[in-house]
Structure 1
Amino acid sequence: MMSRVKKGIIAGFVATVAVSVLELANLFLNHMFDPFPGIVAQMFGMPGNMAAGWAIHLVMGTFVLGSLFGVVYPRLPTATPITKGIVFAVGAWVAMMLVITMVGDYRTFTGSSGFGTIGWMLALHMVFGAVLGNVYARLVEREKRGAAPIGAAPAH
């Protein structure tokens, strides 16, 4: 039996990988928006260090947001797992925007970035939340299906 935190960590890892694939497409195909790992690295005082940005992105998405989602999942206000994930991820986006604007560098969203990058990050967080909620719900459902005693017939 897996704890909610473990399920959240697994779901957070899968969601982080999904968002990373989208970010790689932005980074290597069209580069329309500032790369999210670059923004994360700048938030942590390492501007231009993309490797550190990717590492922080993976750790935050997997361990911090994933485990926190597992803890707060039953208390989230919506009814479906995907919308619970989206609400959670948009809340994380709002918190990140507050941190950037209150204690971050004022030049984070200037020049060629700006509203487009902010919108891109919101969209990525919504995708993150949808994948997070979906994977978490599948893990919960798989555990429920496997909880029947050996040899018991399904009740349907």
Structure 2
Amino acid sequence: MARAIFAAVIATLVASGLIYLNGQLADLPQFPLLAQIQSFNARIGMPQTVEAAWAAHAFLGVVVYGVIFALIQPVLPGSAFLEGLTFGILTWLAMMVVFAPLTGHEIFLQDANNPVLVAMSFAFNIVYGIVLGFVFAIVGGRAEAE
């Protein structure tokens, strides 16, 4: 479990860095993840500040997804890369089917009518998953880090 949490910390830091950079680079399509988290926080009575949004993002990425990864990693297919890719797809599906409605959107953000938004969320989750899989393998969660 500790290796999965450590790997989730690293993966969350990488994903957070990409989210931060996305918000800073005006030439890229914007993925307003923090605004979505602030909307979610408002629905459950938490503060809507940027700091609270980052805290919720970190909690989900490190604790929730880290624990889930530790529990399901033994049944994920293949190498560290494939495990991470599969988990990234699962986290994206969770985001589209569970988190999006909790922020007031339709599943798969259909009401946003913005395929770039869906694609950006997919990309961030895939990067998160792949980093998670590789770091988990490197710290001894798997015999090989392919």
Fold equivalence (TM over 0.5): yes
Relative distance call for 1:25 and 1:55 in structure 2 (3 A) is same
Relative distance call for 1:104 and 1:10 in structure 2 (3 A) is same
SS in 1 for 2:25: helix
Q: Which residue in the other structure is 1:87 paired with? A: 86
Q: Which residue in the other structure is 1:16 paired with? A: 12
The correspondence of residues 21-32 of structure 1 with structure 2, limited to 5 A, is 21-30=17-26, 32=29
8 Å contact 1:86–1:129 — kept in the other structure?
Answer: yes
Q: Does 1:45 align with 2:50?
A: no
Structure 2 runs not aligned, ≥5 long: none
Deviation at 1:133, TM superposition (A): 0.1
Q: Does 1:34 align with 2:41?
A: no
Instruction: Provide the aligned length of Structure 1 versus Structure 2.
Output: 137
Deviation at 1:114, TM superposition (A): 2.3
Relative distance call for 1:106 and 1:36 in structure 2 (3 A) is closer
Give RMSD over aligned pairs: 2.6
CA distance in 2, matches of 1:34, 1:93: 14
Relative distance call for 1:84 and 1:36 in structure 2 (3 A) is same
8 Å contact 1:38–1:49 — kept in the other structure?
Answer: no
Structure 1 runs not aligned, ≥5 long: 145-156
SS in 2 for 1:79: coil
Asked which structure has the greater CA Rg, the reply is 1
TM-score by structure 1 length? 0.76
Deviations 1:99-145, CA, capped at 9 Å, x for gaps: 2454441389556x722111101000000001000000011169x7x
Which of the pair is proportionally richer in helix? 2
CA distance in 2, matches of 1:15, 1:93: 14
Relative distance call for 1:43 and 1:69 in structure 2 (3 A) is same
TM-score by structure 2 length? 0.81
